[in-house]
Structure 1
Amino acid sequence: MDSSDRIEHFNNPNAPKPNSIVVAVTVFVQDEHGRVLLIQRTDNGLWALPGGAQDFGEYIAETAVRETREETGVEVEVTGVVGIYTNPNHVVEYSDGEVRQQFSICFRGQYLSGEPTTSDESSAVQWVRRDELNELAMHPSMRLRIEHGYERRNEPYIG
Protein backbone atom coordinates (compact mmCIF):
# COMPACT_ATOMS: atom_id res chain seq x y z
CA MET A 1 0.00 0.00 0.00
CA ASP A 2 1.41 3.42 -0.83
CA SER A 3 0.67 6.67 1.00
CA SER A 4 -2.11 7.61 -1.42
CA ASP A 5 -4.11 4.59 -0.18
CA ARG A 6 -4.53 6.03 3.34
CA ILE A 7 -5.54 9.56 4.33
CA GLU A 8 -5.70 10.56 8.00
CA HIS A 9 -8.27 13.18 8.96
CA PHE A 10 -7.79 14.81 12.35
CA ASN A 11 -10.22 17.48 13.59
CA ASN A 12 -11.21 18.09 9.95
CA PRO A 13 -14.87 19.20 9.67
CA ASN A 14 -14.85 18.17 5.98
CA ALA A 15 -13.67 14.62 6.68
CA PRO A 16 -15.86 11.84 5.32
CA LYS A 17 -18.19 10.17 7.82
CA PRO A 18 -16.84 6.91 9.28
CA ASN A 19 -18.34 3.62 8.17
CA SER A 20 -16.28 1.20 10.27
CA ILE A 21 -14.56 0.75 13.60
CA VAL A 22 -11.75 -1.80 13.89
CA VAL A 23 -10.19 -2.89 17.17
CA ALA A 24 -6.50 -2.00 16.96
CA VAL A 25 -3.53 -1.78 19.29
CA THR A 26 -0.33 0.16 19.66
CA VAL A 27 2.51 -0.82 21.99
CA PHE A 28 4.66 1.49 24.12
CA VAL A 29 7.87 -0.38 24.97
CA GLN A 30 11.14 0.99 26.28
CA ASP A 31 14.64 -0.43 26.35
CA GLU A 32 16.97 -0.41 29.36
CA HIS A 33 17.99 3.18 28.47
CA GLY A 34 14.40 4.48 28.50
CA ARG A 35 14.20 4.80 24.71
CA VAL A 36 10.87 4.01 23.04
CA LEU A 37 10.54 1.56 20.13
CA LEU A 38 9.22 3.29 17.00
CA ILE A 39 8.63 2.39 13.37
CA GLN A 40 8.52 4.57 10.29
CA ARG A 41 5.34 3.44 8.54
CA THR A 42 5.56 2.46 4.88
CA ASP A 43 1.95 3.56 4.17
CA ASN A 44 2.34 7.23 5.16
CA GLY A 45 6.02 7.77 6.09
CA LEU A 46 5.17 8.86 9.63
CA TRP A 47 6.82 7.57 12.79
CA ALA A 48 4.59 5.56 15.10
CA LEU A 49 4.41 3.01 17.85
CA PRO A 50 4.17 -0.53 16.45
CA GLY A 51 0.64 -1.90 16.24
CA GLY A 52 -2.24 -3.02 14.13
CA ALA A 53 -5.66 -4.66 13.98
CA GLN A 54 -6.83 -7.61 16.03
CA ASP A 55 -7.26 -10.86 14.12
CA PHE A 56 -10.06 -13.35 14.69
CA GLY A 57 -9.12 -16.02 17.22
CA GLU A 58 -6.64 -14.00 19.25
CA TYR A 59 -6.75 -12.24 22.59
CA ILE A 60 -6.03 -8.50 22.34
CA ALA A 61 -2.73 -8.88 24.23
CA GLU A 62 -1.70 -11.46 21.62
CA THR A 63 -2.42 -8.85 18.95
CA ALA A 64 0.00 -6.46 20.65
CA VAL A 65 2.75 -9.09 20.86
CA ARG A 66 2.21 -10.29 17.26
CA GLU A 67 2.09 -6.83 15.69
CA THR A 68 5.22 -5.71 17.55
CA ARG A 69 7.05 -8.85 16.39
CA GLU A 70 5.85 -8.50 12.78
CA GLU A 71 6.67 -4.80 12.45
CA THR A 72 9.87 -4.58 14.52
CA GLY A 73 11.43 -8.01 15.05
CA VAL A 74 11.24 -7.35 18.82
CA GLU A 75 9.56 -9.73 21.28
CA VAL A 76 7.56 -8.12 24.09
CA GLU A 77 5.12 -9.12 26.79
CA VAL A 78 2.14 -6.95 27.70
CA THR A 79 2.39 -5.53 31.22
CA GLY A 80 -0.39 -2.94 31.29
CA VAL A 81 -2.60 -0.45 29.48
CA VAL A 82 -1.43 3.08 28.67
CA GLY A 83 -4.82 4.15 27.37
CA ILE A 84 -7.79 3.70 25.07
CA TYR A 85 -7.99 6.14 22.16
CA THR A 86 -11.37 6.59 20.44
CA ASN A 87 -11.40 10.20 19.21
CA PRO A 88 -14.38 10.41 16.78
CA ASN A 89 -12.65 13.39 15.11
CA HIS A 90 -9.81 11.09 14.01
CA VAL A 91 -10.78 9.01 10.98
CA VAL A 92 -8.68 7.22 8.41
CA GLU A 93 -9.91 7.12 4.81
CA TYR A 94 -8.81 4.21 2.62
CA SER A 95 -8.84 4.03 -1.17
CA ASP A 96 -11.38 1.16 -1.11
CA GLY A 97 -14.05 3.43 0.46
CA GLU A 98 -13.57 2.38 4.07
CA VAL A 99 -13.52 5.30 6.50
CA ARG A 100 -12.40 4.04 9.89
CA GLN A 101 -13.04 5.82 13.17
CA GLN A 102 -10.09 5.49 15.52
CA PHE A 103 -10.32 2.78 18.17
CA SER A 104 -6.94 1.88 19.57
CA ILE A 105 -5.79 0.39 22.84
CA CYS A 106 -2.23 1.39 23.69
CA PHE A 107 -0.52 -1.29 25.75
CA ARG A 108 2.61 -1.05 27.84
CA GLY A 109 5.06 -3.73 26.80
CA GLN A 110 8.16 -5.16 28.42
CA TYR A 111 11.10 -5.82 26.09
CA LEU A 112 12.09 -9.50 26.03
CA SER A 113 14.44 -10.02 23.07
CA GLY A 114 15.21 -9.24 19.47
CA GLU A 115 16.82 -6.50 17.42
CA PRO A 116 14.94 -3.79 15.50
CA THR A 117 14.24 -5.18 12.02
CA THR A 118 12.18 -3.62 9.22
CA SER A 119 9.16 -5.26 7.56
CA ASP A 120 6.66 -4.61 4.76
CA GLU A 121 4.94 -2.17 7.14
CA SER A 122 8.06 -0.48 8.55
CA SER A 123 10.77 1.18 6.47
CA ALA A 124 12.76 1.98 9.64
CA VAL A 125 12.68 0.63 13.19
CA GLN A 126 14.65 2.16 16.03
CA TRP A 127 14.86 2.90 19.71
CA VAL A 128 14.33 6.66 20.11
CA ARG A 129 15.31 8.89 23.03
CA ARG A 130 12.56 11.10 24.44
CA ASP A 131 14.50 14.25 23.50
CA GLU A 132 14.63 13.10 19.85
CA LEU A 133 10.86 12.69 19.42
CA ASN A 134 10.18 16.27 18.29
CA GLU A 135 12.52 15.77 15.31
CA LEU A 136 10.34 12.99 13.88
CA ALA A 137 7.29 13.41 11.62
CA MET A 138 4.48 11.92 13.69
CA HIS A 139 0.69 12.13 13.91
CA PRO A 140 -0.61 14.09 16.95
CA SER A 141 -2.55 11.05 18.20
CA MET A 142 0.70 9.05 18.31
CA ARG A 143 2.53 11.81 20.20
CA LEU A 144 -0.30 11.76 22.76
CA ARG A 145 0.08 8.01 23.33
CA ILE A 146 3.85 8.29 23.71
CA GLU A 147 3.51 11.14 26.23
CA HIS A 148 0.98 9.09 28.19
CA GLY A 149 3.37 6.14 28.08
CA TYR A 150 6.15 8.21 29.62
CA GLU A 151 3.79 9.68 32.26
CA ARG A 152 3.14 6.26 33.84
CA ARG A 153 -0.33 7.24 35.03
CA ASN A 154 -1.98 5.28 37.85
CA GLU A 155 -5.02 4.66 35.66
CA PRO A 156 -5.21 4.25 31.86
CA TYR A 157 -6.15 7.28 29.76
CA ILE A 158 -9.66 6.98 28.32
CA GLY A 159 -10.43 9.35 25.49
Structure 2
Amino acid sequence: MVTDDEGRVLVVQRRDNGEWQIPGGVLELHESIHAGLRREVQEETGLLVEQQRLTGVYKNLRLGVVALVFRAHVIGGAAGPTEESAAVGWWTADEVTTRMGETFAARVLDALDAAEVAVRLHDGVRLLTEDLSPVPPDMP
Protein backbone atom coordinates (compact mmCIF):
# COMPACT_ATOMS: atom_id res chain seq x y z
CA MET A 1 0.00 0.00 0.00
CA VAL A 2 1.72 3.13 -1.28
CA THR A 3 0.91 6.58 0.10
CA ASP A 4 1.89 10.06 -1.04
CA ASP A 5 2.80 13.16 0.99
CA GLU A 6 -0.90 14.10 1.33
CA GLY A 7 -1.82 10.67 2.78
CA ARG A 8 -3.57 9.50 -0.38
CA VAL A 9 -3.37 5.86 -1.43
CA LEU A 10 -2.09 4.56 -4.77
CA VAL A 11 -4.80 2.49 -6.49
CA VAL A 12 -5.02 0.67 -9.80
CA GLN A 13 -7.93 -0.36 -11.96
CA ARG A 14 -7.24 -3.94 -13.01
CA ARG A 15 -7.47 -4.70 -16.73
CA ASP A 16 -8.84 -8.22 -16.16
CA ASN A 17 -11.93 -7.34 -14.08
CA GLY A 18 -12.11 -3.53 -13.92
CA GLU A 19 -11.94 -3.48 -10.11
CA TRP A 20 -10.02 -0.81 -8.20
CA GLN A 21 -7.45 -2.27 -5.80
CA ILE A 22 -4.06 -1.55 -4.35
CA PRO A 23 -1.16 -2.92 -6.41
CA GLY A 24 -0.24 -6.51 -5.63
CA GLY A 25 0.36 -9.96 -6.97
CA VAL A 26 2.08 -13.29 -6.56
CA LEU A 27 5.75 -13.76 -5.75
CA GLU A 28 7.98 -15.50 -8.27
CA LEU A 29 9.36 -18.84 -7.03
CA HIS A 30 12.87 -17.58 -6.14
CA GLU A 31 11.92 -13.96 -5.37
CA SER A 32 12.19 -12.32 -1.96
CA ILE A 33 9.09 -10.74 -0.47
CA HIS A 34 10.47 -7.20 -0.74
CA ALA A 35 11.72 -7.72 -4.31
CA GLY A 36 8.26 -9.02 -5.27
CA LEU A 37 6.61 -5.99 -3.67
CA ARG A 38 8.79 -3.62 -5.68
CA ARG A 39 8.31 -5.58 -8.92
CA GLU A 40 4.52 -5.79 -8.63
CA VAL A 41 4.11 -2.06 -7.93
CA GLN A 42 6.39 -1.15 -10.83
CA GLU A 43 4.62 -3.56 -13.23
CA GLU A 44 1.18 -2.22 -12.29
CA THR A 45 1.93 1.51 -11.93
CA GLY A 46 5.35 2.42 -13.38
CA LEU A 47 6.49 3.64 -9.94
CA LEU A 48 9.58 2.59 -8.01
CA VAL A 49 8.87 2.14 -4.31
CA GLU A 50 10.62 1.34 -1.08
CA GLN A 51 8.86 -0.73 1.56
CA GLN A 52 8.43 0.66 5.07
CA ARG A 53 6.69 -1.93 7.26
CA LEU A 54 4.29 -4.86 7.30
CA THR A 55 0.76 -3.64 8.15
CA GLY A 56 -1.44 -6.68 7.66
CA VAL A 57 -1.87 -10.38 6.93
CA TYR A 58 -5.09 -11.43 5.16
CA LYS A 59 -6.26 -14.98 4.43
CA ASN A 60 -8.82 -15.66 1.73
CA LEU A 61 -10.46 -18.83 3.05
CA ARG A 62 -12.18 -19.60 -0.26
CA LEU A 63 -8.89 -19.65 -2.21
CA GLY A 64 -6.47 -20.54 0.59
CA VAL A 65 -4.33 -17.51 -0.29
CA VAL A 66 -2.49 -15.41 2.29
CA ALA A 67 -1.72 -11.79 1.37
CA LEU A 68 0.87 -9.64 3.11
CA VAL A 69 0.35 -5.88 2.99
CA PHE A 70 3.23 -3.43 3.46
CA ARG A 71 3.30 0.36 3.61
CA ALA A 72 5.61 1.81 1.00
CA HIS A 73 6.57 5.17 -0.46
CA VAL A 74 7.56 6.31 -3.94
CA ILE A 75 11.25 6.78 -4.73
CA GLY A 76 11.02 7.21 -8.52
CA GLY A 77 9.24 6.52 -11.77
CA ALA A 78 6.04 7.97 -13.22
CA ALA A 79 2.55 6.68 -12.45
CA GLY A 80 0.41 5.60 -15.37
CA PRO A 81 -1.51 2.74 -16.96
CA THR A 82 0.43 -0.42 -17.77
CA GLU A 83 -0.22 -3.80 -19.40
CA GLU A 84 -1.77 -4.91 -16.08
CA SER A 85 -3.59 -1.71 -15.03
CA ALA A 86 -6.09 0.26 -17.09
CA ALA A 87 -5.79 3.29 -14.80
CA VAL A 88 -3.80 4.51 -11.80
CA GLY A 89 -5.01 6.99 -9.20
CA TRP A 90 -4.45 8.48 -5.78
CA TRP A 91 -7.46 8.12 -3.47
CA THR A 92 -8.30 9.44 -0.02
CA ALA A 93 -9.38 7.06 2.73
CA ASP A 94 -12.99 8.17 2.16
CA GLU A 95 -12.76 7.29 -1.54
CA VAL A 96 -11.30 3.89 -0.65
CA THR A 97 -14.20 3.24 1.74
CA THR A 98 -16.89 4.13 -0.79
CA ARG A 99 -15.35 2.89 -4.06
CA MET A 100 -13.32 -0.21 -3.22
CA GLY A 101 -14.53 -3.70 -2.26
CA GLU A 102 -14.67 -4.50 1.45
CA THR A 103 -11.70 -6.86 1.64
CA PHE A 104 -9.35 -4.49 -0.19
CA ALA A 105 -10.64 -1.41 1.62
CA ALA A 106 -9.88 -3.13 4.94
CA ARG A 107 -6.26 -3.62 3.88
CA VAL A 108 -5.91 0.07 3.09
CA LEU A 109 -7.67 1.33 6.21
CA ASP A 110 -5.70 -1.07 8.43
CA ALA A 111 -2.44 0.19 6.91
CA LEU A 112 -3.45 3.83 7.38
CA ASP A 113 -4.78 3.52 10.92
CA ALA A 114 -3.29 0.55 12.72
CA ALA A 115 -0.21 0.77 14.88
CA GLU A 116 -0.11 -3.04 15.01
CA VAL A 117 -0.10 -5.60 12.22
CA ALA A 118 -3.70 -6.55 11.38
CA VAL A 119 -4.52 -10.24 10.94
CA ARG A 120 -7.84 -10.89 9.19
CA LEU A 121 -9.87 -13.59 7.48
CA HIS A 122 -12.18 -13.12 4.50
CA ASP A 123 -14.09 -15.11 1.90
CA GLY A 124 -13.00 -12.99 -1.06
CA VAL A 125 -15.90 -10.57 -0.61
CA ARG A 126 -16.59 -10.09 3.11
CA LEU A 127 -14.39 -9.90 6.19
CA LEU A 128 -14.97 -12.75 8.63
CA THR A 129 -14.49 -13.08 12.38
CA GLU A 130 -12.44 -15.92 13.86
CA ASP A 131 -15.65 -17.98 14.22
CA LEU A 132 -16.07 -17.46 10.43
CA SER A 133 -19.18 -15.31 10.65
CA PRO A 134 -19.32 -12.00 8.71
CA VAL A 135 -17.91 -8.94 10.45
CA PRO A 136 -20.78 -6.55 11.31
CA PRO A 137 -20.62 -3.38 9.13
CA ASP A 138 -19.92 -1.08 12.10
CA MET A 139 -16.99 -3.19 13.37
CA PRO A 140 -13.48 -2.28 12.15
TM over 0.5: yes
Q: Runs of 4 or more off by more than 4 Å in structure 1?
A: none
Q: Does 1:53 align with 2:42?
A: no
> Hey, what does 2:105 align to over in structure 1?
143
Q: How does 1:3-152 map to 2 (within 5 A)?
A: 28-88=1-61, 91=62, 100-136=63-99, 138-152=100-114
Q: CA deviation at 1:87?
A: 3.5
Q: CA deviation at 1:105?
A: 0.4
Q: CA deviation at 1:120?
A: 1.9
**C-alpha distance in structure 2 between counterparts of 1:33 and 1:109, whole Å:** 14
**C-alpha distance in structure 2 between counterparts of 1:157 and 1:131, whole Å:** 20
**How many correspondences in the alignment?**
120
**Judging changes above 3 Å, is the alpha-carbon distance between structure 1 residues 58 and 152 closer, same or farther for their aligned structure 2 residues?**
same
User: Which of 106, 119, 124 is residue 158 of structure 1 equivalent to?
Assistant: 119
Q: Which amino acid aligns with 1:126?
A: G
- The normalised TM-score by structure 1 is 0.70
Q: Percent identity?
A: 34
Counterpart of 1:117 in 2: which secondary structure?
coil
Q: Which amino acid aligns with 2:26?
A: A
**C-alpha distance in structure 2 between counterparts of 1:102 and 1:59, whole Å:** 17
**C-alpha distance in structure 2 between counterparts of 1:107 and 1:132, whole Å:** 20
Q: Which amino acid aligns with 2:37?
A: A
- Highest RCO, 1 vs 2 (Cα 8 Å, sep ≥ 6): 1
**C-alpha distance in structure 2 between counterparts of 1:139 and 1:132, whole Å:** 11
- The normalised TM-score by structure 2 is 0.79
Give a deviation string over 1:16-64, Cα, whole Å, max 9, x none.
xxxxxxxxxxxx1111111100000111111000010000221111110
Q: CA deviation at 1:135?
A: 4.4
Structure 2: runs of 5+ lacking an equivalent: 121-140
